[in-house]
Amino acid sequence: MSKQILFGFHAVTVRLKSAPKSVIEIHVDATRRDQRMRQFVERAKDAGARLIDSDDERLQKLCGSHRHQGVVARVEAVAISHSLDDSLDAIEGVPLLLVLDGITDPHNLGACLRVADGAGAHAVIAPKDHAVGVNATVAKVASGAADTVPYFMVTNLARTLNELKERDIRIIGTSDDAQRSLYDLDLTGPVALVLGAEGSGMRQLTARTCDELVRLPMAGAVESLNVSVASGVCLYEAVRQRIKSAS
């Protein structure tokens, strides 16, 4: 099984809670003894994790970032689900999926995973090409959501979207040029919300595969939102409608 690096309090704490046996070792800043670190060390000890005192230079080398907060863990990769089909088959309730086309910035992906977790999305889907995988930076920004939200990278995104349609999941894409607003749609049924990279947007084939394209109303001077912000707007509109429909 492959090894991964996680860093930052949130990412490592979530792994300790969700899969403590996957944690090989945790390197902590030997000079940091504030309350947050003390609480983390106690939690790690309770989980049976191996703790190693390290200096800042070693921590930076391990994770490739100076934003480690004094905590870097070596862990076994944990598979949330064996396949997209397995994950879809296991959904209880009305499917809510997030599809990301062309997101290559790990900070954007991490933020999208965090939003997806908060909104209760069942999975995040992306193409294997022109997309970033889950790495240490993604896990740090996701604040633990990289361990809780299934993230599937598929060979052919258009084909996958068509397979979702066969499951009666409606494919809704976002485009600045769309005529209808997000708020004009009924999102209470099974839906996959598709967003492209900031600036370039979705690829043409992806857009053509969508059942419908919608826009986010923009009242100010900026032309578009960051993809993680747009993901949050779309997902939580679906959540809002579903809560209202159920009440």
Q: Over the stretch 236-246, which tens digit does the pLDDT of each residue have?
A: 999 999 999 98
What is the reported pLDDT for 120? 95
Q: What is the DSSP letter of 184?
A: G
Whether the predicted pLDDT of 80 surpasses 60: no
Write down the pLDDT at residue 140: 86
For tokens 């900026």, the residue is 222
Which pLDDT belongs to residue 79? 62
pLDDT band of 27, cuts 50, 70, 90: very high
Indicate whether 1 pLDDT > 60.
no
Whole-angstrom distance, CA of residue 180 vs CA of residue 150: 30
- Delimit the CATH 3.40.1280.10 region(s) of the chain: 84-246
Helices and strands, number each (H, E), in the chain: 9, 11
Q: Report the pLDDT value the prediction gives residue 15, as an integer from 0 to 100.
A: 87
Residues forming CATH 3.30.1330.30 domain(s) in the chain: 3-76
Per CATH, domain 3-76 is 3.30.1330.30: yes
Looking at domain 84-246, its CATH superfamily turns out to be SPOUT methyltransferase, trefoil knot domain (3.40.1280.10)
Answer left, alpha or beta for residue 8, where phi above 0 means left and psi between -120 and 50 means alpha: left
- How far is Cα 116 from Cα 181, in angstroms, rounded to an integer? 21
